[in-house]
Structures are given as structure tokens and as C-alpha cells.
Amino acid sequence: MQSPAAPLFEEAVIAPVIQVKALPKLLLVDDHPENLTVLKAVLKNQEYDLITALSGMAALDLVSQHVFDLILLDIMMPEMDGFEVCRILKEDPDYTGIPVIFITAKTDFESVVQGYELGAVDYVTKPFNPAILRARIKNQLRLRRAELELQKTVVRLEKEVAVRVQVERRLRQREKELERFALLDGLTQIANRRKFDEYLRFQWANKKRAKEPISMIMGDIDFFKQFNDRYGHPAGDKCLQDVAQALSRSLKRPEDVACRYGGEEFGLILPSTPLEGALIIAERIQALVAELAIPHESSKVCPHVTLSLGVACLLPEGEDEMETLIRKADKMLYQAKGNGRNRVESA
């Protein structure tokens, strides 16, 4: 019997990844080696990573190379004492958070006060009780872990807040864009009928308080159906866009608004404008549309595109009179059409 063929690859055995928790790293600083030996003996069964330094300068050099969780620091050392080492550490933002416990034979009150004022978290005098020292170290390491966790939480929350603020800012921008598009005519890119109605209500209340007039111009492209029939709807759309932009250019004040009222009809709202001022704008509109020189061979009044315009003005009073203003402007528009088109009529 033929034995089964050996597999091309041996099945790999994947051992689980075991994350080894790093031991708390302690720096022991004393200029007497025998004192360091005693400290290491006291702490040898505490699961700490112990590193020693015999001088203040050596301690600062080690701090720049390692990340320590706590420093046990003697005070009376030649060249640079423990007070100076602590002062240097606490003035450096990279190391100021490392807890420092002074272990010293200096027991006078002034030294204890100086140690705490320099930023030490504890002050242990020699000879010390090993159990009490171990307990103090554990407490400070616990506090340090809690502080680091709090810092991580603060950083995380700050990032979350920053992201949320950015998202909310983008949402507000998007809402504004959507609101703007909701009030914009998609074809002509000027205000739509909804904007016309909202803006008229707003200005009506405004000018009623100010006792100032509002004028309105209603305009219609002459023989627009015939234009579409002759040149096609794409050309008709382009004609509407060009006329809408001419209407926008006719307005010189930001409070004046041109809207596409519907189909080939346009409406202009002119706050704080008497009838005479509105007529000037109407004449300007006709001139700008004439400058476009859009061919219209099916027109019965002119070989290029023209507008008929109706102008009306009212001093705002009751809210129902807004419709009166619209009706008056619309009536004047139909009067302009009835009187031959390509003209301005006013009430």
C-alpha cells in the first residue's frame, strides 16, 4: 500500500502571545554603596526593577536614559546634594511627575520642610522601618499609576472632545450648506420661491417697525415657450441662467434679493426702496438683459430675449397686505404684457 504523501508544509504551531507586565522601575540614589545594598535587600522581593546611582550627577544621567516610576533619594551627597537633584528634576517638565522620596539621616524640621517644598512626595529618616518604607513606596506607586491613568484619560477625552467639536463644526457647516441649497434655485443659482416667501415675511416685519416701504418687481421672459420650442430646453435653461445673473447684477445692496418665482417668472424684493428707486432698478434690469443679446427669432417684440416687468410699492402694515403687494406687482406685470411686452409698468 502506498503511503500518503507528506504535506508540503508543516502545520505551524502558534504560541499565544503573553504580554509581560513591566515591573515598576525605581532609582536608588546614595553616595554610600552599603546604603544602596541595604535598600536593595529591603526591596528585593517586591517585584521592582531596581537601578542604583552613587551621585546626583549619575542619577540625573540615568533619569535621561530611563523612565522611572519612583526615585529614592539621599540628601547628603558630595558635589550635588539630593535637594539640588530634586530641584532640577521638578523644574524639567519631562521629569517633574516622577515621585521623589527622600531617605536621609537629616531629621531637622527645616530639612523636612525644604524637601516637601522642592516637590518630594515623602520624607523618610534613617534608620527606617523596612515594612513602613515598603508600604510608603507602594502607596506612591499606586498614586503614580492613578495619576498616569488620569492623564491618559484626560488626553483621550481631550481628543474625543476635539473630534466631537470638529464633527459638530462640520455638521453645522453642512446644515448651513443644506439650508442654503434649500433656499436656492438649483438651475439659476439665485434664491427660490421658498426664500422669496421667507424673506418677504422677514422684511415685512422689519420695515413695519421702521415704517419704511418695500418695493417689488415681478418679471417674465417674453414668449419663453416659443423660445423653448425653437431652440430647445437646454438653450431655455441657459437663457434662464443668464437672465437670473443679469437680475442679480442689477442689485447693488445686499438686502435686495432676486428670486426665481416659478418657471420663467422672477421676483425681486427691495426693502426700504420707494417706487422711484424700484423703477430705476427695473430700467437697469432691462438694459442688462438687452446687453445679453440672446437671440429670440420667435419673439413678436424683439429679435433677442426681453423681459416684461411689473413694479409695486407698499408701506408695510398688516401681514395680509404682503399678498396685496405681490398681487399689485403681478397685476402690473400682466399689464406690461398686455401693453405690448418688453416694458415696465408700475402701480
33 prior amide bond cis, ω within 30: no
pLDDT tens sequence across 171-229: 888 887 777 778 899 899 999 999 999 999 999 999 999 999 999 999 999 999 999 99
Tally Cβ neighbours within 10 Å of residue 244.
Answer: 20
Return the CATH number of 25-153, one of 1.10.390.10, 1.20.58.100, 3.40.50.2300, 3.30.70.60: 3.40.50.2300
Q: What is the set of active-site residues?
A: 264
User: Residue for cell digits 517644598?
Assistant: 117
Comma-separated ranges of CATH 3.30.70.270 domains in the chain: 193-346
Confidence at residue 2, expressed as pLDDT on a 0 to 100 scale: 45
Query: At 346, phi and psi to the nearest 5?
Result: -135, 155
pLDDT more than 70, % of the chain? 94
Q: Is the pLDDT of residue 29 over 80?
A: yes
**Cα–Cα distance for residue pair 139/1, rounded to 1 Å:** 72
Confidence at residue 11, expressed as pLDDT on a 0 to 100 scale: 46
**Mean pLDDT, range 141-145, rounded to an integer:** 90
Which of helix, strand or coil describes residue 10? coil
Write down the architecture of domain 193-346 according to CATH: 2-Layer Sandwich (3.30)
Comma-separated ranges of CATH 3.40.50.2300 domains in the chain: 25-153
Cβ burial of 89 (10 Å; 0-12, 13-18, 19+) is: buried
Number of residues written out for the chain: 347
pLDDT tens sequence across 230-273: 999 999 999 999 999 999 999 999 999 999 999 999 999 999 99
Confidence at residue 6, expressed as pLDDT on a 0 to 100 scale: 43
Confidence at residue 10, expressed as pLDDT on a 0 to 100 scale: 45
More confident residue, 147 or 340: 340
Which of helix, strand or coil describes residue 248? helix
